[in-house]
Chain A
Amino acid sequence: GNSVTQMEGPVTLSEEAFLTINCTYTATGYPSLFWYVQYPGEGLQLLLKATKADDKGSNKGFEATYRKETTSFHLEKGSVQVSDSAVYFCALSPSNDYKLSFGAGTTVTVRA
């Protein structure tokens, strides 16, 4: 079946630190990969996506590259801000299905 594994949180960082959240997946075929962000008290927002191998998704200073050889889609940001404090979900949609499979979520707290 399809599944997503992301690093356990919580992650606590200082402002301007480098952030990496690891995400690996299991899927047949060529899934599309996503990072969603959920700020406190809000719904999910699509942060970035990649639909094929070697694609790089980027948005708001965040980046993730679709690595088929390592079945990974790690999220990175070079310099985090307090406003980046949120829960981050890695997700996939299989090539033959639109259902999203989510990882467990990683809570990130950025301290000033």
Chain B
Amino acid sequence: DTEVTQTPKHLVMGMTNKKSLKCEQHMGHRAMYWYKQKAKKPPELMFVYSYEKLSINESVPSRFSPECPNSSLLNLHLHALQPEDSALYLCASSRLLSSGHPSYEQYFGPGTRLTVT
């Protein structure tokens, strides 16, 4: 099973709403990532989890709150978002090498297309 799944596929939310994006993988990967992708642009890294601990936060605003409840699941909690946060949110996963660093080979999910109104 080489699949990363994400739910929901589409999400429309108001600026006062609280919602969550979910990501799941069953490849035994111990590194998981959140990316944000605006239209016609490459993905931008937001967060990295290694061994279920947050290892990288790319200066993301606090209205985005990641959570890794176990090695297979990754959530992104959203609160008080702005219209400019509308984008495709991609989850990815990869192995951890013996060094403890994530492998460079990342597997991406299909994404959640988020619209903030």
A residues within 8 Å of B by Cβ? 32, 34, 36, 42-46, 49, 87, 89, 91, 93, 97-100, 102-105, 107
Contact = CB atoms under 8 A, between A and B. Distances in A.
Contact of A46 (B90, B101, B107, B111): B107
A21 B92 CA distance: 25
B102 to A, nearest CB: 4
A21 B88 CA distance: 24
At the interface, is chain A mostly helix, strand, loop or mixed? strand
Interface of B: 4, 6, 31, 40-43, 45, 56, 88, 90, 92, 94, 101-111
Nearest to B58: A99
Contacts of B92: 44
A44 B101 CA distance: 22
B104 A32 contact: yes
Contact of A100 (B4, B56, B101, B106): B106
Contacts of B104: 32, 34, 93, 98, 100
B93 to A, nearest CB: 12
A43 B42 contact: no
Contact of A105 (B40, B106, B110): B40
A44 B43 contact: yes
Contacts of B45: 99-100
Given A34-B105, A43-B110, A105-B42, 8 more contacts: A36-B108, A43-B88, A44-B90, A44-B108, A87-B40, A98-B101, A99-B45, A104-B42
Contacts of A32: 104
A42 B111 contact: yes
Contacts of A93: 104
**Residue among B42, B43, B103, B105 having the largest count of chain A Cβ atoms under 10 Å:** B42
B42 A42 contact: no
Nearest to A36: B108
B96 to A, nearest CB: 9
A91 to B, nearest CB: 8
